Structure 1
Amino acid sequence: MHIDDALTARKSVRAFRPDPVPLSLVTEILEIASRAPSGTNIQPWKVHVVAGETRRRLEAEVLAHRETQPADDGAEFPRTSKRKEPYITRMRTLGKEMYSLLGIPKGDKEANWRQWGRNYQFFDAPVGLLFTLDKDLDAMSFIDIGILMQSIMLAAKARGLDTCAQGAWNNYWSVTRRVLGVPEDEYIICGMSLGYADESAAVNTLVSEREPLSDFVTFHGFD
């Protein structure tokens, strides 16, 4: 698949088939994605790949933990951003479209809670990835992790797989840390689902809109 086609075809998939993804294919994706650039080539990322019984255990323990109203229901690292327009409208537009496809009406807290919990099931994808980062690194290394994740998503798409990047996994980090043996000196940044999209699922028809270049690009010095 040409890189342009992978970029255009990639989208966040929130329903997967149970078909297993061979370890050899996951390894191939990670090896090619490891060519992602990082500031001064420090390659700060660490990736935990879960499948099989470990994935099932992680899912079960996180879902049980979140029902206890735990203290770690937010990221362990600082997240102080205050969203304003136009970001609020973009976020709400996506949410409205997605929950409409899921058949979840506005204000249905129980259904919303269940759907949010689907994050911790990796939307039924057979493979989950968790990305961690040394706590003593600065914000630039968060950018490096994002570049790696995009590389993984494109490499996966080029091989017929789909993904969903999941910020939800920086919640309930105490369980993820315990189950996967993540050291205390690392932040759990986010997760990713990896597998084959369930094309029959209505939610997977969602393609989020993109703003025109005129809204976010300023050209300087061109004749």
Structure 2
Amino acid sequence: MSQNPPATSPVIDAASVDAAITSRMSARAFLPQPVPRATLEHLLEVAARAPSGTNTQPWKVYVLQGASRDSLVEKCCAAHDALRADPSLAEQYREEYDYYPTQWVSPYIDRRRENGWSLYGLLGITKGDKDKMHAQHQRNFRFFDAPVGLMFTLDRVMGRGSLVDYGMFLQNIMVAARGHGLHTCPQAAWNGFAKIILPHIGAGENEMLVCGMALGYADPADKVNGFITPREPVSSFTHWLE
């Protein structure tokens, strides 16, 4: 186990910390280059320093590589195709918790639409081109060709606050990955296929799927990785009270 510096020690290279955060993006095309297990273990060890209410540390991680990854991809892509052919199957594939609102309102719906159509525009997918939309959405279930797929679960006994803890843990993984030249893509798209995923990874009956994540070396030649989402200025979401 690596030795951590004292918690009170100053961070000398603040610019590198900022760069790791601001260079994080949702990569949607990866190289086949494998990621060493030692690197993955290190990232998870670092990420586990995330805070959690009363130090409950509610995260549980499943790492898929090789045959286990490929088999899950095959299963979920087949389910995704079947769902398109027969929309009534949607009743079988429901998320266990609401990631998105049941009714969208501004400004969130506006940002969502901008995100979707900006990505599709970059890829030359026009409105109404359902075949290309389906194919692009299915890229999620191929981990965007990343060699490493991560699945995250939570014990159902835990409260909603544990999802806040989980978010900090996930962010730690994504930021720590940047320090090793890696990229990630957090994926809620997998959640609807939990009934396929949980048995595949050997999760217990008490576990709920939180999300998936693709991890690997981003393909710099693929134009999709040039898609960087905008952020609102600090002034738009901050209230200063004195």
Given the two structures, how large is their TM-score scaled by the length of structure 2? 0.88
Displacement of 1:200: 0.7
What is the SS of the residue equivalent to 2:28? coil
Residue identity opposite 1:44 in structure 2 = P
Any stretches of 5+ residues in structure 1 without a counterpart? none
Q: Are 1:159 and 2:173 an aligned pair?
A: no
Cα contact 2:93–2:195 (8 A) shared by 1: no
Q: Are 1:172 and 2:193 an aligned pair?
A: yes
Q: Per-residue displacement from partner, 1:131-184 (whole Å, max 9, x unpaired)?
A: 100112111111111110000000001110000000101111111012111112
Cα contact 1:33–1:152 (8 A) shared by 2: yes
1:192 to 192, 208, 213: 213
Displacement of 1:78: 4.0
Aligned to 2:9: none
Displacement of 1:16: 0.3
Cα contact 2:30–2:146 (8 A) shared by 1: yes
What is the SS of the residue equivalent to 2:159? coil
Query: Cα RMSD (Å) of the superposition?
Result: 1.3
Cα contact 1:66–1:73 (8 A) shared by 2: no
Cα contact 2:64–2:150 (8 A) shared by 1: yes
Q: Per-residue displacement from partner, 1:83-121 (whole Å, max 9, x unpaired)?
A: 210011111111111111112111111111111111111
The CA distance in 2 between the partners of 1:55 and 1:127, in whole Å, is 7
**How many residues are aligned here?**
221
The CA distance in 2 between the partners of 1:17 and 1:72, in whole Å, is 33
Displacement of 1:80: 6.7
Cα contact 1:133–1:188 (8 A) shared by 2: yes
The CA distance in 1 between the partners of 2:97 and 2:227, in whole Å, is 31
Aligned to 1:43: 57
The CA distance in 1 between the partners of 2:131 and 2:78, in whole Å, is 16
The CA distance in 2 between the partners of 1:116 and 1:74, in whole Å, is 17
Cα contact 1:72–1:173 (8 A) shared by 2: no
The CA distance in 2 between the partners of 1:77 and 1:211, in whole Å, is 27
The CA distance in 2 between the partners of 1:8 and 1:179, in whole Å, is 34
The CA distance in 2 between the partners of 1:216 and 1:79, in whole Å, is 21
Cα contact 1:169–1:189 (8 A) shared by 2: no
Alpha-carbon spacing, 1:6–1:12, altered in 2? closer, same or farther (3 Å) = same
Displacement of 1:73: 2.8
Alpha-carbon spacing, 1:65–1:197, altered in 2? closer, same or farther (3 Å) = same
1:140 to 161, 176, 182: 161
What is the SS of the residue equivalent to 2:229? coil
Structure having the higher Rg: 2
The CA distance in 1 between the partners of 2:216 and 2:22, in whole Å, is 18
1:15 to 29, 46, 71: 29
Q: Per-residue displacement from partner, 1:50-106 (whole Å, max 9, x unpaired)?
A: 000000000001111233333333312245723210011111111111111112111
Percent identical among aligned pairs is: 44
What is the SS of the residue equivalent to 2:50? coil
Residue identity opposite 1:72 in structure 2 = Q
Any stretches of 5+ residues in structure 2 without a counterpart? 1-14, 84-88
